[in-house]
């Protein structure tokens, strides 16, 4: 076969938490392992709350991380403050570990621009959540080029889904990363679905990781539900990039246990048995099984942890709700440094309607902006 490239696949923990082989030395640190566990639990509880807030109309849309917590948590534990994260929309776990506040994540999904103006200076250079598929991969290469030109030993990490790897942007990013040997690590969250498109019809190659080989740098697969496997391989990739040895791609094989977003209903296109089976593999129970077998985790610690995480999540919700609403025109304020004259009447129309508390009628939407969009005079 022409498409078979043998790539490494790493897994340390079986779905029941038993070891599949010898652990690397770093995994002797139980403080680290319980921290990874804690962050996965926090992410899951935050997700549940975010979905509940959407269901009660308090935020717009949310993309749950359910089942994929290990990927972001491993990345978040490994990146240094000075590194740069260029995330996509399913990165709550890593963003929170970097220093983005949970209330900022809620503000973002509530349509409030303040959610992308991170208050912690440690994340001032991280990028905001990227919703357009795969465009962030190129932004990450731009950042990595700057780091390389300046001779800084910092690394850019960018994430995306399995579907995103089909986009030209992603493939162009891999190409430039390989050609210029950029300090960038691509982490693919292969959760098996791109909304309703399954992985098996997404791409003709047996792995997504092998796309890196075509671009001239290492690509490999890990069990994305095994936080130890993700941590181990992302650590190596970050170290290589930091030493100027170029990019790497890690494909994390996981499963999207929830809907694509709160705007989706996955029961319309997914088989219940498949989802039931995938629950057997999920990352939190897996690490919990391991920690319990090692004698460093038990029911009492679990209950205490859940209570602590719930309190943190509730505090974030309270802060989010206390932030108040932004004026309607704020949706436009951060699009351009200077608002273009050709779009001025659209902004004005919005302000007029808000002042009159009138809905913007479809008719006005169709007729008034046309001249402006064609670059014509906007005040006639």
Residues that bind ligand TPP (CB under 6 A): 90, 131-133, 160-164, 189, 191, 193-195, 256, 260
In the sheet where 248-253 sits, what is the strand order?
A: 9-10, 219-223, 248-253, 184-190, 156-161, 84-86
Place of tokens 């319309």: 268
Residue 72 CB, shortest distance to ligand TPP, in Å, is 11
* Two structure tokens written together for 115: 């959610």
161 binds Mg ion (CB under 5 A): yes
Q: 126 or 169, CB closer to ligand TPP?
A: 169
C-alpha 68/C-alpha 40 separation (Å) is: 9
In a 10 Å sphere around its CB, with 0-12 CB exposed, 13-18 middle and 19+ buried, how is residue 373 labelled? exposed
Sign of the Cα pseudo-torsion (136, 189, 257, 233, in order): negative
Residue 208 CB, shortest distance to Mg ion, in Å, is 10
Q: 233 or 260, CB closer to ligand TPP?
A: 260
When CB distances to Mg ion are compared, the closest residue is 161
User: Residue 240: which of ligand TPP, Mg ion, none does it interact with, CB under 5 to 8 A by kind?
Assistant: none
Q: How many residues does the chain have?
A: 380
Scanning 57-65, 93-101, 115-123, 159-167 for contacts with Mg ion by CB under 5 A, the matching segment is: 159-167
Element housing 76 (H / E): helix 69-78
DSSP at 84: E
Residue 269 CB, shortest distance to ligand TPP, in Å, is 13
User: Residue 131: which of ligand TPP, Mg ion, none does it interact with, CB under 5 to 8 A by kind?
Assistant: ligand TPP
259 binds Mg ion (CB under 5 A): no
Place of tokens 């691509």: 186
User: Residue 102: which of Mg ion, ligand TPP, none does it interact with, CB under 5 to 8 A by kind?
Assistant: none
Catalytic residues: 256, 260, 269
User: Residue 11: which of ligand TPP, Mg ion, none does it interact with, CB under 5 to 8 A by kind?
Assistant: none
Enumerate residues 6+ apart whose C-beta is below 8 A from 132.
none
Site string for Mg ion, 170-209 (x = CB under 5 A): ---------------------x--x---------------
User: Residue 164: which of Mg ion, ligand TPP, none does it interact with, CB under 5 to 8 A by kind?
Assistant: ligand TPP
Whole-number Cα distances in Å, 128 to 28, 121, 287, 344, 352:
35, 14, 30, 26, 30
Q: 86 or 147, CB closer to ligand TPP?
A: 86
DSSP at 343: G
List residues binding Mg ion (CB under 5 A). 161-162, 191, 194
């Amino acid at each position: 076969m022409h498409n078979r490239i043998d790539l490494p696949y790493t897994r340390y923990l079986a779905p029941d938490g038993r070891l599949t082989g010898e652990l690397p030395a770093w995994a002797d640190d139980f403080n680290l392992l319980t921290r990874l566990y804690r962050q996965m639990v926090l992410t899951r509880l935050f997700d549940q709350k975010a979905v509940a807030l959407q269901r009660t109309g308090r935020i717009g849309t949310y993309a749950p991380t359910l089942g994929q917590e290990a990927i972001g948590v491993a990345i978040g534990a490994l990146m240094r403050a000075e590194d740069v994260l260029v995330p996509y929309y399913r990165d709550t776990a890593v963003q929170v570990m970097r220093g983005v506040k949970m209330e900022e994540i809620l503000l973002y999904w509530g349509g409030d621009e303040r959610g992308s103006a991170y208050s912690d200076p440690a994340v001032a250079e991280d990028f905001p959540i990227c919703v357009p598929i795969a465009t962030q991969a190129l932004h990450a290469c731009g950042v990595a080029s700057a780091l390389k030109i300046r001779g800084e030993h910092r690394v850019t990490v960018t994430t995306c889904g399995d579907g995103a790897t089909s986009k030209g942007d992603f493939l162009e990013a891999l190409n430039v990363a390989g050609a210029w040997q950029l300090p960038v690590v691509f982490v693919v969250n292969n959760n098996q679905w791109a909304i309703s498109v399954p992985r098996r019809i997404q791409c003709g190659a047996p792995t997504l990781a092998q796309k890196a080989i075509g671009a001239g740098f290492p690509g490999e697969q890990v069990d994305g539900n095994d936080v130890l496997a993700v941590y181990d391989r992302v650590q190596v990739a970050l170290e290589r990039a930091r030493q100027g040895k170029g990019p790497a791609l890690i494909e994390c094989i996981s499963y999207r246990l929830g809907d694509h977003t709160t705007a989706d209903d996955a029961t319309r296109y997914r088989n219940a048995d498949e989802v039931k089976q995938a629950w057997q593999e999920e990352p939190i129970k897996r690490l919990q099984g391991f920690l319990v077998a090692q004698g460093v985790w038990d029911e009492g610690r679990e209950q205490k942890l859940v209570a602590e995480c719930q309190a943190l999540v509730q505090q974030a919700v309270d802060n989010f709700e206390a932030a108040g609403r932004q004026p309607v025109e704020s949706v436009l304020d951060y699009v351009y440094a200077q608002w273009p004259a050709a779009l001025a009447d659209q902004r004005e129309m919005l302000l007029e309607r808000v002042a009159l508390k009138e809905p913007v009628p479809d008719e006005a939407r169709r007729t008034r902006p046309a001249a402006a969009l064609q670059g014509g005079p906007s005040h006639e």
